[in-house]
Amino acid sequence: MKTLIPLFLCALFSGPAFGAVGCDLNDPDRDVARLFPSSTGYKTQYLSVKTAGGEKLLSRIENRLGDKFKGLYETIDVPYTLYEIYKGKEKIGYIHGVNQKGDYGGIQVFLSIGTDAKIKAFYIQKLTSRAARELRSKDFGAQFTGLSLKDFADYDPVTGKAPDTSPVSKLKSPSAAAENDFHNVLRSVKKNLILTDEFLFSKAVK
């Protein structure tokens, strides 16, 4: 009986192996250093559409996205974690993550964004997909480097299409099996960029 207690306690009390409601980096110290190699530190902010502007902001975001927030988990009060990245005292960029519904599970997409609002790095922290390895590959992620919200302006997440003139049309799905989740990833990137713009860059201009 004595030896069973630790076993039982493990079963009873080990916390759920699953993450929190928002989209946080699993190990910020490690991940920030990897995604922003020149950084020396970071600060963390927690935001939501509800607190940042409410229904009016939600409406504007949905218009810009070209799609409504939907389902049980894409709601106005979802918390977003914004990491402000510093080199010494100078702010050199941001890291921001978004949860996206995928074909088989949740997709956590993080973007490293420079102060010029351009993507510096792309990182899928979690993904359940038959093509998970291809979607998390370096080659796939590298396609997004240098892109900005402007480049995604004409991308329609509902149809999954972009005009030929749009830089997004040049992004390639790694395989046929990855097609659905590739479009899910694009939606999450566009949403990520819009949120970052609304939370940060547009505010700075104002």
In the block, residue with structure tokens 């110290």: 29
Please choose, from the candidates 50, 52, 54, 121, the residue with its C-alpha nearest in 3D space to the C-alpha of residue 85.
121
Q: State the minimum distance, in angstroms, from the CB of residue 78 to other proteins.
A: 10
Whichever of 107 and 147 has its CB closer to other proteins, that residue is 107
Q: State the minimum distance, in angstroms, from the CB of residue 22 to other proteins.
A: 10
- Spell out the residues 6+ positions from residue 148 whose beta carbon is closer than 8 angstroms to its own: 116, 117, 118, 119, 193
Whichever of 71 and 88 has its CB closer to other proteins, that residue is 71
The tokens describing 193, both together, are 């960029």
| Residues near other proteins, by CB under 8 A | 1-19, 21, 26-27, 30-31, 71-74, 99-107, 124-130, 132-133, 136
Whichever of 106 and 141 has its CB closer to other proteins, that residue is 106
8 A C-beta contact, residue 70 and residue 42? no
Q: State the minimum distance, in angstroms, from the CB of residue 131 to other proteins.
A: 10
Q: State the minimum distance, in angstroms, from the CB of residue 16 to other proteins.
A: 2
Please choose, from the candidates 186, 134, 196, 179, the residue with its C-alpha nearest in 3D space to the C-alpha of residue 158.
186
Whichever of 51 and 137 has its CB closer to other proteins, that residue is 137
Q: State the minimum distance, in angstroms, from the CB of residue 59 to other proteins.
A: 22
In the block, residue with structure tokens 């395989």: 175
The tokens describing 19, both together, are 């993450």
Whichever of 82 and 124 has its CB closer to other proteins, that residue is 124
DSSP letter (8 states) at residue 42: E
